[in-house]
Amino acid sequence: MRLPIVAGNWKLNCSRESASSLAREVAEVPVAGVEVIVCPVSVHLADVAQVVAGTDVALGAQNASAQESGAYTGEVSSTMLAEFGCKYVIIGHSERRSLFGDSEKSCAQRHQAVKEAGLIPIFCVGESLEERESGNTMTVVKSQLQALFDLAGPKAFNNAVVAYEPVWAIGTGKTASPDQAQEVHQAIRQFIFAQDSDSANALRLLYGGSVNPGNAQELFAKPDIDGGLIGGAALKSKDFLAVCKAAAPNT
Ligand code: PEP
């Protein structure tokens, strides 16, 4: 049995004060049987770490450098994130790939750096609308996954988390249907299984893309969907907690 995870990606949407109060509201309500993660921007990590210390809520970052140290202005290394109490790091979010030029190779290097620092990457993959409509969903997703195998070998996904986030569903209000999501999740697990069955069986595979309290339960009921990566609905504690509860076993 894989422990379900729900991670809230706050992006650039909280002030210092609202990040702490949102974290407080989330941490006040334990959700049994689900690992709940909040991912503020780096400059809010210290504040939010203090708020969630001693609670069941884990801390995540939104990106990490591929480098450990050196002349890389503006970057933050995984070791530094670990010093602030991070357990998880989102890598390869579609906004990073499309807006900031994070290539497949650089995402793989960042993923590796996160693992080497003892943290757990949440590695995002997903296709654009054009890629889906031209029948290329799995070609795109496999290529994003393959970059990790190329760098790190068959154990690349050992103790990792993957988030399938169709780009056309992120922040758009359009959700993949539970069947569409399950189809891709199953294919991702099979692709990883072909390299390493243990990693694939243990892999926690999250769905992301306009998840909300109204659609979460149906998505999370699918056998290969082990939780969610949540954007918009993570900005209101009531909605986020409802999504977290929907991931609990037997809801
Ligand atoms: C995301 O940013 O990863 C995301 C899934 O956002 P939303 O839930 O708003 O679609």
Q: How far is the CA of 160 from the centre of ligand 1 (A)?
A: 20
Res 1: pLDDT: 79
Q: Is the CB of 95 under 6 A from ligand 1?
A: no
Give the CATH class of 5-234. alpha beta
Atom 7, ligand 1: which residue's CA is nearest? Answer: 231
Backbone phi, psi, residue 19, to 5°: -65, -45
Q: How far is the CA of 167 from the centre of ligand 1 (A)?
A: 9
Res 251: pLDDT: 67
Distances (CA, A) of 21 to 26, 31, 51: 9, 18, 9
Please list the pLDDT of the chain residue by residue as tens digits (251 residues).
799 999 999 999 999 999 999 999 999 999 999 999 999 999 999 999 999 999 999 999 999 999 999 999 999 999 999 999 999 999 999 999 999 999 999 999 999 999 999 999 999 999 999 999 999 999 999 999 999 999 999 999 998 899 999 999 999 988 999 999 999 999 999 999 999 999 999 999 999 999 999 999 999 999 999 999 999 999 999 999 999 999 999 76
Cα–Cα distance, 66 to 75 (Å, whole number): 9
Atom 4, ligand 1: which residue's CA is nearest? Answer: 231
With 0-12 / 13-18 / 19 or more C-beta atoms within 10 angstroms meaning exposed / middle / buried, residue 142 is middle
Domain ranges (residues) in the chain? 5-234
Cα–Cα distance, 17 to 4 (Å, whole number): 29
CB 65 within 8 A of CB 72: yes
| Catalytically annotated residue among 93, 127, 131, 185 | 93
Mark out the alpha helices in the chain (DSSP H runs). 16-27, 45-52, 78-83, 94-99, 104-116, 129-133, 137-152, 178-193, 197-202, 216-220, 237-246
Q: Is the CB of 243 under 6 A from ligand 1?
A: no
Q: Is the CB of 210 under 6 A from ligand 1?
A: yes
Work out which ligand 1 atom sits closest to the CA atom of 211.
Answer: 8
Does residue 165 have an active-site annotation?
yes
Atom 3, ligand 1: which residue's CA is nearest? Answer: 231
Nearest to 212 by CA among 158, 165, 174, 163: 174
Look up the pTM and report it: 0.97
Question: Which of the listed residues 229, 235, 244 should we mutate to test ligand 1's pocket, taking the one with most ligand atoms within 8 A of CB?
Answer: 229
Does residue 75 have an active-site annotation?
no
Q: How far is the CA of 40 from the centre of ligand 1 (A)?
A: 14
